[in-house]
Amino acid sequence: MAFLEQIHQMVWGPWTMVAFLGVGLFFSLKSRLFQLRGFSYWWKATVGSLGKKGGNEEQGKGGKKGISQFQSVCTALAATVGTGNIAGVATALTAGGPGALFWMWVSALIGMITAYAETTLGIRYRYRDEDGRYMCGPYVYMERGLGMKGMGIMYGVLCLLASMGMGSMVQSNSAVGTMAYSWHIPELAGGLVLTALIWLVISGGISRIGTVAEKLMPAASGIYIVFSLVVILSCAERLPQVFGAILSGAFTPSAAAGGAAGYGISRSLRYGMARGVFSNEAGLGTLAVLHGEAKDTTPQQQGMWAMFEVFFDTVILCTLTALVILCMTGSAPERVPYEGAALASWCFEGRLGAAGEFLVSASMVVFAFATLIAWFYLGKQAAAYTAGALGFDRQKKQKFVNKIYPLFYVAAVFTGSIGRLEVVWILSDIWNGLMAFPNLTALLFLSGQVMMPEWRGRRGR
């Protein structure tokens, strides 16, 4: 265990944050801050196009295999919006102080353009396999863009491992643990029900996954947003103090965060940046995979949707959780004898009563379930690419992708729901971190092929 912890510290050392932020800053300068200066452009091209005749919700209904743009967006949100938006934010505020929220915003704004870059490259290099399905993701642009098939295989293996760890075992453990703690459902019963529901969804393929995500994510996110706003608005008189604490905590040392001058700043920056990166996954390459099945689209269109996903995940959902906690704790969450999901639950319960605790618990279970179905698709795509790249014939590839991998995945879901996962947590973090390095490297080398949309804030290409 000590050996794994040392590897974890190496993989997620300061250089990892520097790599994430460095690549994001590079693309920010290259695009002339498109994520900020072109906000109205990409907002109208994504969320603003929903509901219009011929808009994104109508696309993708032809006979070709694939899903609509909106379904791909909801599937991507299902993978990124998870328990980290609640428990992770609470942990960041407790450890890094209110200033951590400011650095979450910074990481999101930088990560938005990284998400754009990896998604546009994914769509640009995607292709249909022998079964007519799109193959898309970092492993594709590593092989076809860089000509480095070995790097693509390495990424595919890491993504496959991450799907079995962080994507399945960790999420099912969080969901069943929440049900056992809040609703007194035995872990075995909760695990069996969760596993059966996951199998029911994933057995229908990407079409069913996209359909469930399309229904589940808007509803679950909408409910969480409404109740969060109810709590925040009921504490409206505290908001000036809260925002003052966020700004002062981001740039000035705080006694709660540490003693030596500058320690408070570095702590809030470290926890805020880390939580932002872990929450929205920009830079890991997963968004490039999840957008691969979208039909009737362009690289730039899906890239802007990826930007919206990062914005929604961190700037909206994480901010709402943070404001609820800071309003209810007087901007001093470290003084409350709770942490993680328990702290968030305590804050919601303080204003909404038992309904508040139920809201947090239900949200964590729903978000974890959504993450489970999305990560199955991520792992299945990685399995398909890896099997093909390693020279499996069509029959062996189909058996591995359509039979063996799904069985292993649901087994991991059930095992995670009833077991202790300290080692799995560490291994999953290591695999996630290792996914970032080849992806960020590929983004830099292929940066010349990342084209921005034509918008009036940008001159030429």
Between 434 and 153, name the one with better pLDDT.
153
User: 333 in a domain, yes or no?
Assistant: yes
Pick from 40-44, 59-63, 345-349: least confident: 59-63
Q: What is the pLDDT of residue 63?
A: 44
User: 24 in a domain, yes or no?
Assistant: yes
Residue pLDDT, tens place only, 392-417: 888 898 899 889 999 999 998 998 88
* CATH code of the domain in which 327 resides: 1.10.4160.10
Q: What is the mean pLDDT of residues 58-68?
A: 51
User: 122 in a domain, yes or no?
Assistant: yes
Question: Cα 95 to the chain's mean position, in Å?
Answer: 21
Helix ranges restricted to H, 31-65 = 34-37, 39-45
- Classify each residue of 294-321 as buried b or exposed e, where b means 16 or more C-beta atoms within 10 Å of its C-beta: bbebebbbbbbbbbbbbbbbbbbbbbbb
Q: What is the pLDDT of residue 266?
A: 62
Residue pLDDT, tens place only, 175-188: 888 788 778 889 89
Q: What is the pLDDT of residue 146?
A: 93
User: 348 in a domain, yes or no?
Assistant: yes
User: 454 in a domain, yes or no?
Assistant: no
Q: What is the pLDDT of residue 249?
A: 84
- Selection from 66-70, 101-105, 214-218, 229-233 with the highest mean pLDDT: 229-233
Q: What is the pLDDT of residue 54?
A: 47
Domain range enclosing 412: 9-39+67-253+266-444
Task: Tokens 């890991």: give the residue.
Answer: 284
Q: What is the 3-state secondary structure (H, E, C) of 75-143?
A: HHHHHHCCHHHCHHHHHHHHHHCCHHHHHHHHHHHHHHHHHHHHHHHHHHHCEECCCCCEECCHHHHHH
Q: What is the mean pLDDT of residues 350-363?
A: 85
Q: What is the mean pLDDT of residues 69-98?
A: 77
Q: What is the pLDDT of residue 206?
A: 77
What is the chain's Cα-based Rg? 21
Between 352 and 339, name the one with better pLDDT.
352
User: 88 in a domain, yes or no?
Assistant: yes
Q: What is the DSSP letter of 335?
A: G
Q: What is the pLDDT of residue 116?
A: 94
SS3 67: strand
User: 453 in a domain, yes or no?
Assistant: no
Whether the CB-CB separation of 78 and 213 falls below 8 Å is answered with: yes
Count of H helices and E strands in the chain? 22, 2
Q: What is the pLDDT of residue 456?
A: 62
Averaged pLDDT score across all residues of the chain: 83
Q: What is the pLDDT of residue 260?
A: 44
Q: What is the pLDDT of residue 59?
A: 43
454 pLDDT band, cuts 50/70/90, is: confident
Residue pLDDT, tens place only, 278-295: 677 788 888 899 888 877
Q: What is the 3-state secondary structure (H, E, C) of 383-426?
A: HHHHHHHCCCCHHHHHHHHHHHHHHHHHHHHHHHHHCCCHHHHH
What is the model's pTM?
A: 0.86
Q: What is the dihedral of CA 334, 339, 340, 343, to 10 degrees?
A: -90
Q: What is the pLDDT of residue 438?
A: 93
Distance between CA atoms of residues 16 and 21, nearest Å: 9
Residue 58, pLDDT above cutoff 70: no
Between 51 and 349, name the one with better pLDDT.
349
Residue 26, pLDDT above cutoff 60: yes
Distance between CA atoms of residues 242 and 200, nearest Å: 44
Neighbouring C-beta atoms of residue 357, cutoff 10 Å: 18
Residue 62, pLDDT above cutoff 50: no
Distance between CA atoms of residues 71 and 211, nearest Å: 7
What angle (nearest 5°) sits at the alpha carbon of residue 292, between those of residues 211 and 440? 130
Residue 298, pLDDT above cutoff 50: yes
Between 17 and 98, name the one with better pLDDT.
98
Residue pLDDT, tens place only, 206-260: 788 888 888 888 888 888 899 899 999 998 999 999 999 898 888 875 544 444 4
What is the number of domains present in the chain?
1
User: 340 in a domain, yes or no?
Assistant: yes
Q: What is the pLDDT of residue 87?
A: 76
Q: What is the pLDDT of residue 457?
A: 53
